[in-house]
Amino acid sequence: MVLLVADRGGSSQLDDWLAPLAEGYADVLHIQGIADLSAVPRLLRPGVRALFRKNEAVPIWMDWTGEVAERFGAQAEVANVYLIAPSGEVLHRVSGAFTTSDWQTLRDAIDASTRHPAQSAPDR
C-alpha cells in the first residue's frame, strides 16, 4: 500500500506523486490519500466534506483529528508518501515536492517489496 498524506499546504504536491504511482503501480498497489484536516474548524467541516466528495478523483480518508498524520510523523505543508508493507511496517517514506531522484528511490523500494518490474522515471 502507498499512503499519500498531506494537509492543505502539502496537497498541491500530491498530484505529482500520484500520477506516476497510478500509472506504474495501480495493478499491484493500493494507493490511498489521507487529508490532515485537523486545522479545519468544526463549523466548516460539513462544507469541506462536500468539497472533497465533489472533487474526489481518488478515495481520500479525512483525518479530522490529525491522529493518522501524527502517527506517521507527517510533515506539515508538504506531501508525505509512505510505502506500507502488509504487516503495517513503513518500508519507505519521502516528504516534499516530487523530484526524479526521490521518485527513483521510492520506485526501487516498491519494486523490491512487490517484485514488480521497474518503471521508468517520468519526465518532470
Q: What is the mean pLDDT of the chain?
A: 90
Q: pTM for this one?
A: 0.85
pLDDT on residue 116:
61
Q: 121 in a domain, yes or no?
A: no
User: Contact 76/65 with Cβ under 8 angstroms?
Assistant: no
Task: Answer whether residue 123 shows pLDDT above 70.
Answer: no
Q: Which string of b and e fits 32-50 if b means at least 16 CB within 10 Å?
A: bbbbbbeebeeeeeeebee
Q: 87 in a domain, yes or no?
A: yes
Q: Which domain holds residue 45?
A: 2-114
Report the C-alpha gap between 104 and 117 in whole angstroms: 13
Report the C-alpha gap between 81 and 6 in whole angstroms: 9
Q: 120 in a domain, yes or no?
A: no
In this prediction, residues 95-120 reach a mean pLDDT of 87
Q: 96 in a domain, yes or no?
A: yes
Q: 119 in a domain, yes or no?
A: no
Count: domains in the chain: 1
DSSP-derived pairing of the beta strands 2-6 and 31-36: parallel
Question: Residue 76 is part of a domain; what is its CATH number?
Answer: 3.40.30.10
| Predicted confidence band of residue 86 (pLDDT cuts 50, 70, 90) | very high
pLDDT per residue over 25-75, tens digit each?
A: 989 999 999 999 999 999 999 988 888 777 666 678 999 999 999 999 999
Q: 53 in a domain, yes or no?
A: yes
Higher pLDDT, 119 or 54: 54
